[in-house]
Amino acid sequence: MIWHLSNRADPRARDIADRHYNRQKPGTPQFVPPGRCCVLYTETDSGKALWVTSYPFAEYVKHQWAGAWICSAFRNEGAGTASEMIREAVAATRAFFGEPPELGMMTFINTKKVRPTKRHGKDTWGLTYEKAGFHLVGKTKKGLLAFQLLPKDMPAAEKALEPIKEDHNEQAETD
């Protein structure tokens, strides 16, 4: 497990969230949609990453996958292999929330804001999610690609690591 538990106002995670294409108000203290959430953060020798699972109450959801967990942000800035990181984040989400909802987990990709990957000479989106077990299941009314990971395809629950503590004395010790 590479992921550490974080929270919706962690400044380190917020810095990464500010660089994610769906961030609505960069710089604001909180970067997660309202409601239940599982925020994960990691730092490795090679980079950093952020994952956010939102678990909105179905009655407030407007798309056809109401009740599913939503990957509302994943940004990998060189911290590891993205598809493996996604699988671990799903495992950590399962440990955090418990049994997944019947509709599993969804993620949505805006093809106007994400660069495609070439596959057999064609532009494709969501390849990393497909490698992690998600399947393209349609589009939202606004045209976002919808990818779903059903509970039967999810990895077993695995707890995320404890939050990374900020060491405020680190600078003082090196002076």
pLDDT, tens digit, for every residue of 38-51? 999 999 889 999 99
What would the pLDDT profile of 86-115 be if each residue is shown by its tens digit?
A: 999 999 999 999 999 999 999 999 999 889
Partners of 149 in the beta sheet? Answer: 105
Place of tokens 């292999």: 81
- What are the backbone dihedrals phi and psi of residue 128, each rounded to the nearest 5 degrees, phi first? -60, -40
Average pLDDT of the chain is 89
The gap from C-alpha 6 to its chain's centroid, in whole angstroms, comes to: 12
Q: Which two tokens stand for residue 51?
A: 């994952």
The pLDDT assigned to 17 comes to 87
63 vs 141: CA distance, rounded Å: 8
Residue-level pLDDT at 167:
60
The secondary element (H helix, E strand) that includes residue 83 is: helix 82-97
